[in-house]
Structure 1
Amino acid sequence: MGDPPRWRWPLSGRPVLVRRFQPPPERWLAGHRGVDIEALPGETVRSAGPGVVGYAGKLAGRGVVTVTHPDGLRTTYLPVRASVRPGQAVESGTPLGVAEDLPGHCPVPCLHWGLLRGNVYLDPLLLLGFGQVRLLPTRDPTAA
């Protein structure tokens, strides 16, 4: 087996968190499914870990990049003007594009960084050894 992925912040320098992960109590309710990190427009956004670009383009009027990682993890980055293409292999730190300004999302320009395993949103800070652990059941608790 190879070495485990080496995770890093998606922006250079000392990160300033604008908003933390706040998952909704139920999947269909409102919540904040990632973290917002202060990012100047034009700042380089980098892959947090090795993987393959799954999507790079506009979605709902904003630039989005997703990277699929080993073990079923997927990171998302927005708003980003992509410099990568779907199917492209990336390493930790590979530039994905540059941050764009999306007025109204944050009080300051920011990068929204998300993490999913399947369809379940997780705190991306867990990749770096930070964040709040949220345990999920290993089986359906309503099953007999």
Structure 2
Amino acid sequence: MERHDEQARARRARRRKRFEAIRGRRRLTALVATSTLIVATATISAIGVRTADCAYADGGCEPTMVLPVKGGVIVSPFDAPAQVWLAGHRGVDIAADEGATLVAPADGTVSFAGKVGGKSVVSIVHGAWTLTFEPAVTTLAVGTKVRRGRPFGTMSGSSDHCDGACVHWGIRMAGRRYVDPERWLRPQRVVLVD
């Protein structure tokens, strides 16, 4: 039993060290990307160019959702399984510390708050999608409406997913199919097709 506990502690320590290294690299990448974006936006605004049919002015494109951790960085990307029952990473991991405030990525309704397999989970229904967060806790009752960008809970509770270094965010469609949350963080323009 002690040997098993030592092995589990060693695995958690290696996982935490890996997340810390990833977090450092992601922060550096985010800093460089932000600097590049500021320069590119200033250049585009000055010459009035539209990118991907999205104007940088009133009526321009906006992402469908916002990141549930303000200023967070994705440290582990989505990896869809070939079939819904196979192994895969059904969401993204966002670097966050214990107690970090979680905001609703989109308007919705709290549909679940509690334990699933010993893990603290909060779910929000947004249309036909269910957004899940782990580890997460909330003081909101099931059925409470939440607004995009507004706090709904904190990264807290039990989970063996990130060992307190990140929060897992998944988006499930009907039929148990998961989609990549990062897709909904990019600006998009909705158009009618004949």
The answer, yes or no, to whether TM exceeds 0.5 is: yes
Using structure 2 for the length normalisation, give the TM-score.
0.59
| Higher radius of gyration, 1 or 2 | 2
Residues 79 and 108 of structure 1, relative CA distance in 2, 3 Å threshold? closer
Contact (CA 8 Å) 2:98, 2:164: kept in 1 or not?
A: no
Q: CA deviation at 1:78?
A: 0.8
Unaligned regions of 5+ residues in structure 1, if any?
131-144
Which has the larger helix fraction? 2
Q: What is the distance in 1 between the residues matched to 2:133 and 2:159?
A: 16
Q: Quick one: percent identity of the two aligned structures?
A: 37
Contact (CA 8 Å) 1:18, 1:106: kept in 2 or not?
A: no
Q: How big is the alpha-carbon RMSD for the aligned residues of Structure 1 and Structure 2?
A: 2.1
Number of aligned residue pairs: give it: 125
Q: CA deviation at 1:98?
A: 0.9
Q: What is the distance in 2 between the residues matched to 1:87 and 1:101?
A: 21
Contact (CA 8 Å) 2:63, 2:186: kept in 1 or not?
A: no
Using structure 1 for the length normalisation, give the TM-score.
0.78
Unaligned regions of 5+ residues in structure 2, if any?
1-61, 188-194
Q: What is the distance in 1 between the residues matched to 2:184 and 2:64?
A: 9
Contact (CA 8 Å) 1:67, 1:76: kept in 2 or not?
A: yes
After superposition, the C-alpha distances for 1:91-133 in whole angstroms (9 at most, x for unaligned) are 1022221112656423761100000111210001111128xxx
Q: CA deviation at 1:12?
A: 1.1
Which has the larger strand fraction? 1
The ranges of structure 1 where at least 4 consecutive aligned residues each deviate by more than 6 angstroms after the TM superposition are none
Q: How does 1:1-144 map to 2 (within 5 A)?
A: 6-13=64-71, 15-70=72-127, 72-100=128-156, 104-106=160-162, 109-118=165-174, 119-129=176-186
